[in-house]
Amino acid sequence: MTETRRAVSIPVILREFLDRERMTQGQLAVRLQVNPSQVSNWLSGKANPSLENALAIARVTGLPARQVLEAAGYAAPDDVQAPPIPPWLADLLAQLNDRELEIVGLTARGLLRLREERAQAEAQQPPAPQPPPAAEPAAPQPGRPRRRQ
């Protein structure tokens, strides 16, 4: 029988840590070196931490980085089947060490997430107004010679 790990969210991770350590949001913000409003937004679920802040949360809370990165949406759970890797990419990745592979994975996930966030932001913005067409110069009227100036 395989054990299924319960998906944990950033608000749950932070709330449990604050309760366990009897720490305030402000104190956590100081330890994470972020603005207290960021911690508030993470706790309320209004925002997710950046990749760097998610790693800082893992460091401060003592939780495995993988767990925090999954909660923040930067890593897929272990039970998610990944699409097949093209052979040229597999050959390239085979040349990297474990740390380099970890960096590539985190970077790729962060870039994908950034692209998704930008697409969502663009979809929410109204289209920019189009400038009026430029007026064309008046054509000379037939039969009237142009004056020289």
In tens, the pLDDT along 53-80 reads 988 898 899 888 888 888 988 877 665 5
Structure confidence by residue, pLDDT tens digits, 9-64: 999 999 999 999 999 999 999 999 999 999 999 999 999 998 889 888 988 998 88
**pLDDT per residue as tens digits for the range 84-101:** 667 777 677 677 777 777
Domain count, the chain: 2
Question: 26 and 87: one domain?
Answer: no
Residues 87, 27 share a domain: no
Domain-embedded: residue 24 = yes
The answer to whether residues 55 and 96 belong to one domain is: no
Q: Are residues 116 and 89 in the same domain?
A: yes
Mean pLDDT of the chain: 80
Q: What CA–CA distances, in Å, run from 93 to 11, 20, 96, 107, 143?
A: 34, 40, 5, 14, 76
Q: How many CB atoms are closer than 10 A to CB 68?
A: 25
Does residue 75 share a domain with residue 13?
yes
Q: What range defines the domain where residue 29 resides?
A: 8-79
95 with 112, same domain: the answer is: yes
pLDDT for 83 equals 64
Same domain, 103 and 55: no
pTM for the structure as a whole: 0.51
- Supply the pLDDT for residue 57: 93
